[in-house]
Every structure is written in C-alpha cells, then in structure tokens.
Copies of this chain bind each other. A is one copy, B any other.
Amino acid sequence: MKILTLLFTLLTCQVYAQEVIEKVQNYRKANEHKLLKEYLQLLSIPNIASDSAHILKNADFIMGLMREKGIEKVQLLDAGKTETFAPPAIYGEVNVPNAKRTIIFYAHYDGQPVNPLQWSQGLSPFSPVFTDQSLEKEGKIIPIPTENEAINPEWRIYARSTSDDKGGVFSILNAYYALVKSGIKPTSNIKFFFEGEEEAGSAHLGKILEKYKNLLKSDLWIILDGPVHQSGRKQVVFGVRGDVNMSIKVFASKRPLHSGHYGNWAPNPAMQLVHLLASMKDETGKVLIDGFYDDVTPLSATEKQALAQVPSVDEQMRSELGFAKPEGGGISLVEAISLPSLNINGIQSANVGPMAANVIPTTATVVLDLRLVKGNDYVRQVEKVVNHIRKQGFFVTEEDPTEEERMKYPLIAKVSTKGGYNAQRTPMDLPIAQQVVKAVQSTSKEPIVLLPSSGGSLPLYLFEKHLNTPTITVGIPNHDNNQHAENENIRIQNLWNGIETVAALMTMK
C-alpha cells in the first residue's frame, strides 16, 4: 500500500522546484563549453586506485575545482597509518543558515583498471574523445567541439570514469556552482565526499569514516554512482548488493611443457580449472555451491511492490546486447539482481591468439565476482566457495604451493580474495527517502524508477556501521556506458541531467 501512496505523491509533484531547474538549465546552457573543457581535464588524469601519484593528482585537481567554486574546508581525509597506499577521500562543505538538515553527496574519483589494448581504435582510456553516437550504434569519433559550435546532447565522451564515477563528481560540483551562480540557496547544509578507492574495494573507507566521524555527521548520504534505468528513466536506488572478488589459481607442472611430448600425461591446469568452474554453476546459471542461496533476507512488501512497478527492459536489453537467452532459467533481470551471484570476470592460462603456443601451461587463473544480497555475509559466502573447491578434491592454499605440497596433492588451488563487503538496503518509506524521491521526480516528466536494490555494489553498509546514517543512490549516466570495461563513455545529455538532479536534491523541501 505504501508504495502506491508514494507513487501518487510523486505524480502530483511534477512542478516541484521547477524554477530552480530552469535557472540551473540556463546557467548550464550558457557554460557548456567551459563545463566540458574542465571535465576533459579531469578525465585526462589516470585514476587507478593503486597508482598513487596519479590518484593524488586527481585529488589536487578536484580540490582546486572545489575551492574555485567557493566550497569551504576543502581537505584530504586520510585513513591514518596503513600498510599500503590508501587513496585519500576529498572533503568539503557548505553551511547554509537555517538549513533543515545536512546531506553528504558522495562520488568516487578512482576508476576500474584498464587494458588499453582492448579499447577500440582511436580510443585510449585517459585521452577523452567525442563521438557522434555510441560505438555500438556505429558512432564515429568527432573533433572536440570548438567554442562556437553547438554541442549535440546525443554526443558521447569516451574515457575511463566518464560515467563511473567522475560523472558523479562533475554533477555534484557543477550543480552546486550552478545554484551559486543563479543566486539560489541550498535548503540543506551540504558536505562533499569523494572517495579514491571504490573500484579497488574501498579497503580503507571504514577507517576514514571512523577517523572523521564528527566531520561527517549528516542526516543522509546521497550516492552519485551507477546509471539511470535501462528504460532511460531516472532512478532512485535504496540499496546495493555486496561484493567480493576471489582469485583462484590452479598449479600443475613447475615449467611449461611441450604439449606433444607430455600432452595427455602431464596434468593441464586449465583443464583442472575448467572442471572446477563447471561444477560451480549448471547450464541454466544456477549456482551449485552448497548453501549459496541461504541467508537471503526476503524483500519487504514495499520492496516487492516497487519491484513490480519497475518497467521490464529484459527484451530491450537482450536485443541491445545481442544474445538469444539469458541465464537464470527464466527469471527476469530484476529478479536476478535480487539474488546472490557468481560470475567469471576473467580467466587466463598461457595464451590464445597470435601468442598461443603448443604448451601445457603451468597455471590457470580465474577471477570470480560474488555479489551478495541483504542477509549474506561476504566472509561466509567466500567460505562456501572454498568448501566447494575442497569438495572437488583440491588442496586449498593462500600461498604458492611448496615443493612438498606439489608432490602430495593432485589438485592445488591458491585462493585469494580482494575487498569484500556486505549488501545494504535503506527502507523505502523513511521520510527523508520520500523527499529524495520527490526531488528527483521534479526534474523528470516521466515517472522515475524506484529500485529496492541495485545489482551493482558500493560499500554502503559502512555508512550504517560507522556513522549510522542512511544512504540513497541516484544514477546519472546512460545505462549503456560500458562502465568497468573498455570503451567506457557518457552521453552528454546525461551529464546535463545530472546537474539538474543534484541541484534539485540540494534544494529539496
């Protein structure tokens, strides 16, 4: 019932803050070239979390932008003493007299690792270019528009983090500045928090939140990350799946062998890994690991109702992505992302293509991505997988095997995990949640999509754990942005929409 009430409220709110949006739009229209020029500069700085020099360069650049825009107390938030490099978060704030509340806007400035060889011709992860359309729709690279040229909002910018998540940083900073330049006061105190190692698993985020607990006091975190809905509608997301990566490396002979002289006799680690992986999932996509689907907290009635309202995009996506049959044995995309998942991110043993050689490889490696839903615990979920590996006869180790282990165990798997955190869901009926929904709806003529949980992940449980503060996620980029992969891009209209969405949130009733 609650969800129906909520939807009704939404539809009566179309004109909410219409004036704010118009002013912000006018500011943007007058400054498009300047906005994009600044954005291209930001995109040109490599931002892999482990690349400390460049990460700090990104932070410097962003802090410069913040100061220019009049944001106060701009500073780096560090994780204290750490064993390895911990990318700092960037902080800033704006205090508004008589503000009702404090909202922290979150985005992250680091990006996923890149393999430049996999990017299409003419593209390079940190040399942004414009195209007249998405590459999948035969888009062509076009020159960077000159000052006098009109910018077509259907154009795209290709570079790492255009969408994920420098687009979030862009929207937040420029929404704020558009308000300043339009003479509009935010209705909340605003804090800015830009994380620097989200794509590396946010290993130090908890430490930072704990260390700067007082500075980070607020009523709500609004997370700018992830795309709008595949239907093109804006969406508000109330939770995220948890995530943990596992790397499994299988060891056979100590040196690579001629496949003729030893083929069919010396064990092949790729074949051993293949058997192991095949045992993990059946051909419909069901995970066969014992207890994999246990622990799942059922959706609430409100959440179930919300899910039922989400426009189905299954057929659209199937056709857009070009495949005949989804995994999952018939469940829909929204159902699939409400379940824990096991996905192969990458697999490699020796070489394929021009570098392939007639060898028996020495090792074979797979990287798995486990997504978790509310109720799952990431440590427990990894344990289930490790137990499964053992049940298939493998000796499981965390180090490269010793000579003795090699001679003792016919099957050897080195397992390591990276990152890891649990899912999080904010109740959809919190009063502040309803304010957010109204604000986002005010920027859109079509009904926006309300999703109890994204399929993607962010370490949002940390905000609950360390700060006891709810989080709500608002997407900005187009869904076909290739985030996490080669050819990442953003549609320019989505950048413009992002500014409006955030401006509405900064001025919400």
CB distance from A26 to the nearest CB of B (A): 34
| A278 contacts across to B, CB distance below 8 A | 274-275, 277-278
Docked Cα-Cα span, A265 to B262, in Å, equals: 40
Q: Does A434 contact B (CB under 8 A)?
A: no
Q: How many copies does the complex hold?
A: 2
Pair B255/A455 contact, Cβ less than 8 Å: no
| A203 contacts across to B, CB distance below 8 A | none
| A351 contacts across to B, CB distance below 8 A | 113, 115, 345-346, 348, 367
CB distance from A69 to the nearest CB of B (A): 30
Identify which of A57-65, A81-89, A315-323 touches chain B: A315-323
| A364 contacts across to B, CB distance below 8 A | 347
| A255 contacts across to B, CB distance below 8 A | 136, 321, 480, 482, 485, 487
**Could you list 14 examples of A-B contacts with CB < 8 Å?**
A253-B323, A255-B485, A256-B486, A256-B487, A258-B484, A260-B337, A262-B337, A263-B371, A266-B323, A270-B347, A271-B277, A325-B410, A345-B356, A346-B359
In the complex where A351-B348, A484-B358 touch, is A455 in contact with B261 (Cβ < 8 A)?
yes
| A136 contacts across to B, CB distance below 8 A | 254-255
| A275 contacts across to B, CB distance below 8 A | 278, 283
Pair B341/A264 contact, Cβ less than 8 Å: yes
Docked Cα-Cα span, A484 to B362, in Å, equals: 13
Pair A343/B263 contact, Cβ less than 8 Å: yes
User: Which residues 170-210 of A sit at the B interface, judged by CB distance below 8 A?
Assistant: none
Identify which of A1-9, A96-104, A401-409 touches chain B: A401-409
Pair A256/B482 contact, Cβ less than 8 Å: yes
Pair B264/A343 contact, Cβ less than 8 Å: yes
Docked Cα-Cα span, A403 to B138, in Å, equals: 14
In the complex where A113-B354, A357-B484 touch, is A455 in contact with B262 (Cβ < 8 A)?
yes
In the complex where A255-B485, A275-B283, A346-B350 touch, is A265 in contact with B326 (Cβ < 8 A)?
yes
Q: Does A17 contact B (CB under 8 A)?
A: no
Minimal Cβ-Cβ distance residue in B for A48: B354
CB distance from A491 to the nearest CB of B (A): 14
- Which interface residue of A136, A261, A336 has the most chain B CB atoms within 10 A? A261
- Which interface residue of A274, A285, A364 has the most chain B CB atoms within 10 A? A274
Minimal Cβ-Cβ distance residue in B for A230: B261
CB distance from A332 to the nearest CB of B (A): 8
Q: Does A369 contact B (CB under 8 A)?
A: yes
Docked Cα-Cα span, A457 to B369, in Å, equals: 40
In the complex where A270-B346, A322-B403, A360-B343 touch, is A352 in contact with B247 (Cβ < 8 A)?
yes
Q: Does A241 contact B (CB under 8 A)?
A: yes
User: Which residues 355-391 of A sit at the B interface, judged by CB distance below 8 A?
Assistant: 355-361, 364-367, 369, 371
Q: Which one of B243, B324, B344, B457 lies within 8 Å of A406 (CB-CB)?
A: B324
Q: Does A281 contact B (CB under 8 A)?
A: yes
Pair A259/B114 contact, Cβ less than 8 Å: no
CB distance from A392 to the nearest CB of B (A): 9
Pair B345/A359 contact, Cβ less than 8 Å: yes
Docked Cα-Cα span, A255 to B323, in Å, equals: 11
Minimal Cβ-Cβ distance residue in B for A479: B261
Q: Does A133 contact B (CB under 8 A)?
A: no
Q: Does A268 contact B (CB under 8 A)?
A: yes
Q: Does A131 contact B (CB under 8 A)?
A: no
Docked Cα-Cα span, A257 to B333, in Å, equals: 13
